[in-house]
Amino acid sequence: METIRLTIDRENIDSALMEQAAEVIRRGGLVAFPTETVYGLGADACDPDAARSIYAAKGRPSDNPLIVHISQVQQLYDIASEVPAVADRLFEAFWPGPMTVIVKKNDRIPLETTGGLDTVAVRMPSHPVARELIQKSGCMIAAPSANSSGRPSPTRADHVWEDPNGRIDMLIDGGEVELGLESTIIDLTESVPMILRPGFVTREMLEDVIGQVRIDPGITSADTATEGLAPKAPGMRYRHYAPRGSLSIIEGTESDVAAYIEKNCDEQRAAGRRTAVLCRSETRHLYNRADEIIVMGDTGDEAAVASRLFAVLRQMDEDQIDCIFSESFRGAGVAEAVMNRLMKAAGHNLIRVGS
Ligand code: TXA
Ligand code: MG
């Protein structure tokens, strides 16, 4: 199929163009659209056939549930069978925005949308184009990230164009997204609310509003495989984001890390492989052996690293890099989300150097 591409200015939304997109959603089609986190691939959340076509377009396993995007809190109550008392405080504090909640569902949302689960993930995005699409279509919109399954999530329309283009009806180009990492997922069906995927709404921010919050033990461990703990969110179990080349995260003092990376870049290049380093602006001067040296952001500015990460991983493939060495971005707050995605991309290949 020929994918129609529309360009919409988020500051000055063209209502006639948005009506075209809304019409595609209403008749069961697929529209890729920008949100503040990443681009989503949307369809009517209440239409089982539309949900099935999302899985087909992404090549996504059908047991990996979709997030339902809404524009008013009332819509969550329309599709939930049980909403715990703490929920309203979360909605007030973080919606619209990069937080997804998991609640028990009722019959309005088909099992096709939730990958067969009796719970549903719900998010109210803040991006004006996303909000307008939900409102104009009159539908709740089921949308996973708009990448082909396994690839990094798209932070620009061109990334969507590279991936499921030709398998979707329409792509709305709304420019680059603001945040660049997918939403925080918090499961409200647990006795103590549990974070299933870290994001910009951090554990500390959630605890300030509702008290104690746990992090899914299946995702916190760097060595999930060895501990045998499966993450609760099905999508967190799959290999994800991985570039075609090998990616290692190197941890230790600045000088030990740089020495290790420089030495390994020399060895890899001698063997004819193309190399890249992902580092901070403060440590940039420590590197000069790799084919590409990419500054992810300043130390402590994890938001900058977050907004660049997925695009850089795609660039590694485009530039045919065989070996990527990344500094570690470990820390509290948004760094948790950055390290979670980086560790997944690296297949948990973390190397500690020095004494
Ligand atoms: O920021 C975002 O959340 C983006 C934008 C487009 O809104 N969406 C997104 O969707 O990242 P997706 O499908 O790529 O990731 C959804 C994650 C998956 O890991 C999935 O397994 C999990 O949410 N999930 C969805 N429903 C769930 C449920 N009922 N229980 C547990 N995990 C669920
Ligand atoms: Mg995804």
Protein residue with its CA nearest to atom 33 in ligand 1: 233
Q: Which residues contact 259 (CB under 8 A, 6 or more apart)?
A: 353
Q: How many helices (H) and strands (E) does the chain have?
A: 12, 17
- The residue to mutate among 68, 118, 185, 188, having the most atoms of ligand 1 within 8 angstroms of its beta carbon, is 185
Residue 238 reports pLDDT greater than 80: no
CB 209 within 8 A of CB 89: yes
- Which of the residue ranges 79-88, 144-153, 220-229 would you say has the lowest mean pLDDT? 220-229
pLDDT 10s digits, 302-320 = 999 999 999 999 999 999 9
Output the CA 289–ligand 1 centroid distance in Å. 39
| Range 94-107 average pLDDT | 98
CA distances from 320 to 245, 268, 315 (A): 8, 14, 8
Query: SS3 breakdown of the chain: % helix, strand, coil, rounded to 5?
Result: 35, 20, 45
Q: Which pLDDT band holds residue 215 (cuts at 50, 70, 90)? A: very high
Tell me what pLDDT residue 165 has: 72
pLDDT at position 79, please?
A: 98
As to burial, measured by CB atoms within 10 angstroms (0-12 exposed, 13-18 middle, 19+ buried), residue 263 is: exposed
Residue 242 has a pLDDT of 86
**In the predicted model, is pLDDT for residue 104 greater than 70?**
yes
Q: Place 204 in a pLDDT band, splitting at 50, 70 and 90.
A: very high
Kindly tell me if the per-residue pLDDT of 227 is higher than 70: no
- Among 219-223, 291-295, 330-334, where is mean pLDDT lowest? 219-223
Residues with CB under 6 A from ligand 1: 35, 37-38, 40, 64-67, 100, 102, 114, 117, 119-121, 123, 143-145, 182-183, 185, 196, 232-236
pLDDT at 222: 52
- Mean pLDDT, the chain, rounded, equals 95
Place of tokens 């069978």: 81
Q: Is 284 left (phi over 0), alpha (psi -120 to 50) or beta?
A: alpha
Left if phi > 0, otherwise alpha if psi is -120 to 50, otherwise beta: which for 67? Answer: beta
Determine which of 86-100, 169-183, 202-216, 229-243 has the lowest per-residue pLDDT on average.
229-243
Cα of 114 to ligand 1 centre, how many Å?
10
In this predicted structure, what is the pLDDT of residue 166?
A: 81
pLDDT at 119 over 70: yes
pLDDT value, residue 22:
98
Question: Which pLDDT value is given to residue 316?
Answer: 97
Distance of CA 147 from the midpoint of ligand 2 (Å): 7
For 250-259, the pLDDT digits (tens) are 999 999 999 9
Spatial distance between the Cα atoms of 150 and 170, rounded to a whole number of angstroms: 22
Stretch 209-229: mean pLDDT: 78
Per the CB < 8 A criterion, the answer to whether 282 and 259 are in contact is no
Q: What is the distance in A from the centroid of ligand 1 to the CA of 234?
A: 9
Instruction: Tell me the C-alpha distance between 146 and 41, whole Å.
Output: 5
Q: Which atom of ligand 1 has the smallest separation from the CA of 40?
A: 6
Convert the pLDDT of each residue in 41-62 to its tens digit: 999 999 999 999 999 999 988 8
Closest ligand 1 atom to Cα of 100: 3
Section 16-34 average pLDDT: 98
**Ligand 1 atom 15: residue of nearest CA:** 144
Ligand 1 centre to CA of 54 (Å) is 13
- For residue range 146-161, list pLDDT tens digits in order: 999 888 999 999 999 9
- Grouping H, G, I as helix, E, B as strand and the rest as coil, residue 234 is helix
User: pLDDT per residue over 276-288, tens digit each?
Assistant: 999 999 999 999 9
Residue 283: partners with Cβ closer than 8 Å, 6 or more residues away: 254, 257, 258, 327
* Atom nearest to 232 CA in ligand 1: 31
